[in-house]
Structure 1
Amino acid sequence: MTDARAVWGAERSLLGLVQHASANGFEATIACPIDSPLRGYSRRTGLEIRFLDVSLQQHPAQSRGGLRATGLRQIAAEAAATARASRTVRGWTRDFDYIVSFETWRNLEVALGCLGTRARAVLDMHDVFAGKLGRVLNRFAGWISYSAVAPSRFTLEKTGLVGRKSSVVPRGTSLPVPIADRRSSDSEHPIRAAILGEVRSYKRVDLFCSVIREVNARGTRMLGLVIGDVHEDNVGMRVRSQIEASGGELLHIERVDNVFEILADVDYVVNASDEEAFGRTLIEGLAAGAVPVSFSGTGPAEIIERAGIGAILNSNDHIELAIKFAQLVSNQAERQRATLEGYSIADRHFGWPNVATSYYRAVERLPS
C-alpha cells in the first residue's frame, strides 16, 4: 500500500520487489491511488503488475507541516482520520495474507486495520516520522504489526523498532549491462564527481557544491555534476547561484534519459544526505564503475560498508571535506578497483533476486 506521487528510488525498489514476488511464493498487488505515477511507470517499462484502486483521505497533519506542527485539536482530527482509514484496510484483510505499508502516513492504519484478522501487517520503514510524537507512533505501529523491514540500521534505529520483529534488508537495484567503455581519467580531463536526485534540503547538494569549489580552489581539477530537478525554493536558488558562480566547476543536468551513460563518465558518485534511508544511486554509480562517497552514520554509508568499497566522510565543514576529498582523489587504486570490480560488487550485494528473497523472508519473519 502506497500513496506514491512520484517514482524515485524507493518506488523503483517496490516495483522490483513485486516483480520478484512469484519467485518467492507470493502473489503481489500494489494498492495505490488510480492516478499514481506507479501505474504509468510500470506500463512504460513493460512491467506486468496488478493494482488495487485506493482512495484514502490525506492526513490533516500533512497539510500543516507534519506531526511536529500539530496541536491537540489536530491530533484528534488525525486520530479520527486514522480510524476511518483503518476500517477501509480491514475490508481488504479477507483477500490478503500480508498487507505491507509502504507509506509512513499509512503505517498505523495498516497495523490497526489488520488487528484481529487473518492478514498480517508489515511495515516497510524506508521513511519514518521524526520528533518525539513521531517516535511514539513509529513504535506503537511496530508493536501491533507483524513485522517491520528497513533498508538500513540507520532508519531502523530512528524508529526505535530494533528487535526480533524487525529486519534490515538493503534495497535491490536493477543493474544495466556492464559498461565496457568508461572514460579514462588523465591530466587532460578533470576528475568528475556527481550527486544525483531531486535537489532538496536533506540531500545537502549545497554542501556538495561548496566542497567542489573548495577542491578546485586548492588546485585539484574537479567537475561537479548536479543531476536532477532544482526547485525554485531557498535551497534550489542557493544551489543555482553556486552553479552560476562556479566558473565551470559545477554543471547542472536537469534530466537524463539513461543515468548509467552519465555515470559511466563519472569518477565519484556522492550522496551527501544525513537523513536518507538508503541511497541507491551509490549502487548505480558503483555498477557503472564510479567510487561511492557518503557520510558516516547514515543509510547511504551502510551501502559502502556492505560493499567494502568507497569512502565514508565524517565532517560537515566544507573546507575539511575538500581536503579529505582531495586526498581521496589521489588514491587511484580505489578508482581502478571500482572500474574493474564495481559491477560485480554491486550485483553481488544489491542485485535482484537475492535481495528480494531476503525481503520476503523478512516479511514472513523467517531466518535469512
Structure 2
Amino acid sequence: MKSYDIVVCFGTWELLEVLTAARLARKPCVLDLHETFSGTGGNKILNLLSRFLSGVIATSAGAANPIHSTVKRCVVPRPVSLTRFLPEPHQVRAQNSLAIVGQVVPHKRVLKLLEAVDAVEDFTLSVSIVGISPLGFRSSYEQVVSRHAEKSRHQIVLVDKTDNVAEHLKNAYVVVNVSEHEAFGRTVIEGLAAGCFPIVSSGTGTEEIVVRAGVGWVVSDAGGSLSEAIRRYFILPELTKSEMSVEATQSAQKYASDLIAGEYLSALKKMGVFGAA
C-alpha cells in the first residue's frame, strides 16, 4: 500500500482488515459503500469503524445513514452497462406488462407486489418475476410467492435466476422495485435503459434513482398506493406510454460509465485525499 496515494475499500466485510493495513501504511482510507443492513448490529459496527475513515463514497444518501456524522461523504451512483438493455426500433411489449428483477427474498417485498397486483381489477396484468430459485431449491418465502402466483387471476410468470434479464425488461412496460431497503437498485436503471417506467418505494436508493433520472413514480408503501400507481399507469394513452418509454431510455444515460467515473474522481478530490479539489 505504501506506493499508493489512497486506499479504497469496496466491501464492508473487509473494512476492518483494509482499514488496519491502511493506517499501518499511513495512507488515507475511503470506503465505497454500496450495501445496506436490515439489522441494527451491522449499522452500529459500521458507524464505529467509519470514524477512522478519511471519507465514504456511497451509492445513495440512504446507504450512508449509518456513517458517523463527522466523516466526509459523497453520493456517487454505480455505473451501469446500458447497451444490451436498449430497446429495438419499434420494440413490442407485452400488454399491461410489468417486471420485478432480483432476489425473491422478504425485504424485496415480492409478495406485497403480488398482493398489490391482485387489487387491480380493471384489467389483466402480465407480471414477470425474474430471479427466483429453480424448483427444488426454493426457500420457504419463494414457495409462498410461487403458490400466490399460481392462484392469481393475473398472468404471473416466475423466471429462474438468469444473466439475461434484458429480454424480460424489454418486454415490459413497467419495472417495479419496492424493497424495504436498497443501497442502489441497478435493475431499475437497466429497466430505464430498456424503456421501462419505474415504480419504486420511498426512502430507498431506488427513489434517488427516480429523482436523478426524472422519470418514474415513488410510492409510500407496497400496498394500496402501489396498486393505484400500477392502475394509473396502464390507463394512460398508448402515445403517452410510448413517449415515457423514450424518455426513460434517454434518462438512463445519466448512469453511463464515463460520466460516473468523472463523478467518482470529483468525490475523491472533494475529500482532499486525491489531488486538488
Same fold by TM-score greater than 0.5: yes
Alignment of 1:158-169 (within 5 A): 159-161=66-68, 165-169=72-76
AA at the equivalent of 2:89: D
Q: CA deviation at 1:256?
A: 4.2
Percent of paired sites with the same residue: 28
In structure 2, list runs of 5 or more residues that go unmatched. none
In structure 1, list runs of 5 or more residues that go unmatched. 1-92
Q: CA deviation at 1:128?
A: 4.1
Asked whether 1:135 is paired with 2:43, we answer yes
Alignment of 1:136-151 (within 5 A): 136-151=44-59
Q: CA deviation at 1:114?
A: 1.4
Aligned equivalent of 1:280, options 186, 193, 207: 186
Which residue of structure 1 lines up, in the alignment, with residue 199 of structure 2? 293
Cα pair 2:97 2:172 within 8 Å, conserved: yes
Which residue of structure 2 lines up, in the alignment, with residue 225 of structure 1? 128
Q: CA deviation at 1:210?
A: 1.5
TM-score by length of 2: 0.87
CA distance in 1 between partners of 2:244 and 2:3 (Å): 46
Alignment of 1:52-201 (within 5 A): 93-129=1-37, 131-157=39-65, 159-161=66-68, 165-176=72-83, 178-184=86-92, 190-201=95-106
RMSD: 2.4
Cα pair 1:148 1:363 within 8 Å, conserved: no
Which residue of structure 1 lines up, in the alignment, with residue 210 of structure 2? 304
CA distance in 2 between partners of 1:140 and 1:340 (Å): 45
Q: CA deviation at 1:255?
A: 4.2
Aligned equivalent of 2:264, options 359, 362, 367: 359
Q: CA deviation at 1:315?
A: 2.0
Cα pair 1:182 1:264 within 8 Å, conserved: no
- What's the CA shift string for 1:100-122, capped at 9, x where partnerless? 22222222322232125243211
Q: CA deviation at 1:270?
A: 0.7
Partner-residue secondary structure (3-state), 2:63: helix
Looking at secondary structure, tell me which structure has more helix per residue.
Answer: 1
Which residue of structure 1 lines up, in the alignment, with residue 114 of structure 2? 209
- What's the CA shift string for 1:190-243, capped at 9, x where partnerless? 30000001211121111112222221xx12221110001335222111111112
Which residue of structure 1 lines up, in the alignment, with residue 165 of structure 2? 259
Partner-residue secondary structure (3-state), 2:260: helix
AA at the equivalent of 1:219: D
TM-score by length of 1: 0.67
Asked whether 1:316 is paired with 2:222, we answer yes
Find the structure with the greater CA-based Rg.
1
CA distance in 2 between partners of 1:248 and 1:222 (Å): 5
Q: Which moved more, 1:328-337 or 1:285-294?
A: 328-337
Describe the shift of the 1:261–1:135 C-alpha distance in structure 2 as closer, same or farther (beyond 3 A). closer
Which residue of structure 2 lines up, in the alignment, with residue 336 of structure 1? 242
Describe the shift of the 1:163–1:307 C-alpha distance in structure 2 as closer, same or farther (beyond 3 A). farther
Q: CA deviation at 1:140?
A: 2.5
CA distance in 2 between partners of 1:132 and 1:260 (Å): 35
CA distance in 1 between partners of 2:41 and 2:81 (Å): 36
- What's the CA shift string for 1:79-130, capped at 9, x where partnerless? xxxxxxxxxxxxxx22443332222222232223212524321111112455
Describe the shift of the 1:321–1:334 C-alpha distance in structure 2 as closer, same or farther (beyond 3 A). same
- Across the two proteins, how many residue pairs are aligned to each other? 268
AA at the equivalent of 1:355: I
Cα pair 1:122 1:148 within 8 Å, conserved: yes
CA distance in 2 between partners of 1:295 and 1:108 (Å): 32
AA at the equivalent of 2:123: T
Q: Which has the higher contact order (CA 8 A, sep 6+)?
A: 2
CA distance in 2 between partners of 1:128 and 1:356 (Å): 22
Describe the shift of the 1:163–1:220 C-alpha distance in structure 2 as closer, same or farther (beyond 3 A). farther
Asked whether 1:268 is paired with 2:174, we answer yes
CA distance in 2 between partners of 1:334 and 1:298 (Å): 27
AA at the equivalent of 1:223: S
Which residue of structure 2 lines up, in the alignment, with residue 18 of structure 1? none
